[in-house]
Structure 1
Amino acid sequence: MGIERRPAPPDRTKALAENQITALWRLDVALREKTFWEMVYASAARADEVLCLNVDDLYPQDKHGKITAKGGATERIHWQSGTAQLLPRLIVRRIRGPLSLTDRKAPAGTPTLDVCPGTDRARLSYRRAQEIFEENTRLLADALASPDEIEDLHGWTLHRLRHRALTHDAEDGASTPMLLARSRHALVRSLERYAHPGVDAVARHVAERDPAACRRT
């Protein structure tokens, strides 16, 4: 008898709503975080891929950059004007080294590729980037909570930025080939998690089909 194949559990990850993304951009955070979050969202890239970017991997005028994707392949990610406006302020006069840097000098033993030659600061790690994002989004994740409760709250994961970007593309009617190109998934099945419309899209769908609204038009 063959081994019974069990179905994969459903992916319950929810895309962020439009008002949540708007609230995120209004947060008073450091330029490093603002640029990093904007780039992850605009490019729909994985957060760890963006953190691995070096200054010399960027093509600012063309709004794209080279990343090392899963499996080691070199691929391109593309961003929009919001990211393009922030990048020069983040880079300043640096011409090489990690794009996103820590606030302190790199400890002894840090690999050379993860150290900025001009500032001696280290590449920002995924763990620290996730901690910062989670800390800053705790109150956004629970609209009913008060600042006094912040230590007991849980914020968002960085993956939710990518999830929201791809879900938004799907809601706007992006084709399957485009979604595969944006997500850089190899299989169509991998897109299923992004194919579920968010609450804003469902609300628009219902409102557009409201008989009262149809009569007014």
Structure 2
Amino acid sequence: MHWQSGAAQLLPRLIAGRVEGPLFLTERRAPEGTPTMDVCPATGRARLSYRRAEKIFEESTRLLANPLASPERWDGLQGFTLHRWRHSSLTHDAENGTSTPMLLARSRHASARSLERYARPGVDAVARHVAAQDPAAHRR
């Protein structure tokens, strides 16, 4: 795994001296038969599933995703999803000129064709690119 500096600075707090076991845990003890590597040896709790992490993330980001919503509507709102978060990260990387091989490596996609949905630069990114490639601007 590769972490950017913001996440890397928070990681020691999350790890808190742990040397084994999953970091993101359910609130309950792991059921009998759960693979050992998916159980925290200190607490006996199971690894948090992607589906549950997605639900927690979506619920926790409702207000961020809908900053103008009134409190009586909060329960019916949707927050961000982990997939959308990943999508936006790849889109920003593509807009900033990250190469296709690097986007493939970061996304863990096998085909450049699968990146098409992410690599759709916005109007501002296209304007920056055109300005950067303008030969008249380089002569000034």
Query: Shorter chain as normaliser: what TM range?
Result: 0.7 to 0.9
Per-residue deviation, residues 162-209 of structure 1 (Å, max 9, x unmatched):
1111111100011111111211211111110111124xxx24655997
Pairing 1:123–2:47 present: yes
| Structure 2 unaligned spans of 5+ | 132-136
Contact 1:139 1:147 in 2 (8 A): no
Report the equivalent of 2:77: 153
User: Paired residue for 1:27?
Assistant: none
Query: What letter matches 2:111 in structure 1?
Result: L
Distance 1:182 1:93 in 2: 28
Deviation at 1:140, TM superposition (A): 2.4
Name which of 94, 115, 119 aligns with 1:195: 119
% identical equivalent positions: 69
The number of residues matched between the two structures is: 132
The normalised TM-score by structure 1 is 0.54
Q: Give 4+ residue runs of structure 1 displaced > 6 Å after superposition.
A: none
C-alpha displacement of 1:102? 2.3
Residue 136 (str. 1) matches residue 45 (str. 2): no
Q: Which has the higher contact order (CA 8 A, sep 6+)?
A: 1
Give the corresponding residue for 2:103.
Answer: 179
User: Deviations along 1:46-79, whole A, 9 cap, x unmatched?
Assistant: xxxxxxxxxxxxxxxxxxxxxxxxxxxxxxx311
Counterpart among 90, 104, 107 of residue 31 in structure 2: 107
Distance 1:122 1:182 in 2: 27
Cα distance between partner residues in 2 of 1:174 and 1:139: 31
Give per-residue Cα distances to partners, 1:84-130, cap 9 Å, x unaligned: 11111111122111121223332344332211112212111112211
Is it true that 1:163 corresponds to 2:87 in the alignment?
A: yes
